[in-house]
Amino acid sequence: MDNHVNNAREVIFLDPVCSHNIWGGSRLGEEFGYGVEGSDIGECWGISAHPNGDGTVRGGAYDGKKLSELWSGHPELFGNLQYDRYPLLTKIIDAQDDLSIQVHPDDDYAQKNENGSLGKTECWYIMDCAENGTLVAGHNARSREELSRMVEEGRWKELIREIPIKKGDFIQIEPGTVHAIKAHTLILETQQNSDITYRLYDYDRVQANGKKRELHIQKSLDVITVDGEEQPNVVSTCGLPENVLNQIYSCEKYDIFKLTVNKEAVIDQKYPFLAASVLEGEGQIDGSPLGKGDHFIVPAGYGELRISGNMSLILSTVEE
Ligand code: ZN
């Protein structure tokens, strides 16, 4: 039973779900205050209603509810959107080692081959990286035949496309794009609500148990796109105006914004919802304390939102 009246004027804070990964580090526990111990914390699912990591509301009228429950029980908070589940998943990923090189299916392929799952379009905002850091995005095969041959012959160095990155860069990763984060990179990932990944190459690494991690070569080859010319690239988001919602990307799956608060920002929450993550700094949001590592949702109909302090945030929403 839900005895609470709907209060559209309430910011909904979420407690994230963190995971241990062999390539993870200690930053999410130590710098972001998620209360998880270990030097192998790889992912913080900050705003997630996925069964593999369903976030919990912290405080307020919906305290203790899972985000998936909020979505199904209170569609009005999300503008009564015509989606069958909360459409996005926002993560912070701390890679202290190279991640395996992978690719995701699109909605059609996942629907048919992965028990009705959504496909996975994703995008990354680079929160921090090594000097002369790089990431893997795209490949150098010019045809499907060449792609299969290079994979079969293990010509990974030739095949994999690596590009330089800097803090503040943004990149869109379409389904079918070969991609990977390299060691010492911290990113905020916004993606479709899906957990389907095909591992193409794992640098021939052997785990502690003496075995290599499973690869999904056939499924990878099924979904990898061969475009030849159109390769994914990073865009810098540095130098955007402060205290306004800067749209840095828009596609049919999501809209992404960057907000840098310097003293005070007043935002018109006119979207079905705004999912937000604080990457740096601290301050207040309509009277409540807000700081680095906080994840929250501003519901539909909220109207004017006042954020003060010094902070950098990434926000997302979907189109109605
Ligand atoms: Zn991915």
Q: What is the pLDDT of residue 239?
A: 96
Catalytic sites, residue numbers: 199
Please report, for the domain that includes residue 263, its CATH number: 2.60.120.10
Instruction: Please indicate, yes or no, whether residues 206 and 305 belong to a single structural domain of this protein.
Output: no
By the 10 Å C-beta count (0-12 exposed, 13-18 middle, 19+ buried), 61 is classed as middle
User: Hey, how many other C-beta atoms are within 10 angstroms of the C-beta on 2?
Assistant: 12
Ligand 1 centre to CA of 245 (Å) is: 26
Ligand 1 centre to CA of 198 (Å) is: 9
The answer as to whether 241 is a domain residue is: no
Is residue 111 within a helix (H) or strand (E), and if so which, with residue range?
helix 107-113
Ligand 1 centre to CA of 103 (Å) is: 6
Given 203, 236, 269, which residue is the final one in a domain?
236
Instruction: Please indicate, yes or no, whether residues 229 and 255 belong to a single structural domain of this protein.
Output: no
Q: What is the pLDDT of residue 2?
A: 46
Ligand 1 centre to CA of 213 (Å) is: 17
Given 217, 236, 255, which residue is the final one in a domain?
236
- With the CA atoms of 39, 44, 50 and 54 taken in that order, what torsion angle do they form, in degrees rounded to the nearest 10? 90
Domain that holds residue 277: 246-317
Instruction: Please indicate, yes or no, whether residues 143 and 292 belong to a single structural domain of this protein.
Output: no
Q: What is the pLDDT of residue 229?
A: 66
Instruction: Please indicate, yes or no, whether residues 197 and 270 belong to a single structural domain of this protein.
Output: no
90: closest CA among 181, 187, 235, 10? 187
Sign of CA dihedral 293, 297, 283, 61: negative
How many domains is the chain built from?
A: 2
Q: What is the pLDDT of residue 22?
A: 86
Q: What is the pLDDT of residue 160?
A: 96
Q: Mean pLDDT, 10 residues at a time, over the chain (320 residues)?
A: 55 96 92 90 97 96 97 97 96 96 97 95 98 97 96 96 98 97 98 95 89 95 86 96 98 98 97 98 96 98 96 96
Q: What is the pLDDT of residue 9?
A: 83
Q: What is the pLDDT of residue 12?
A: 97
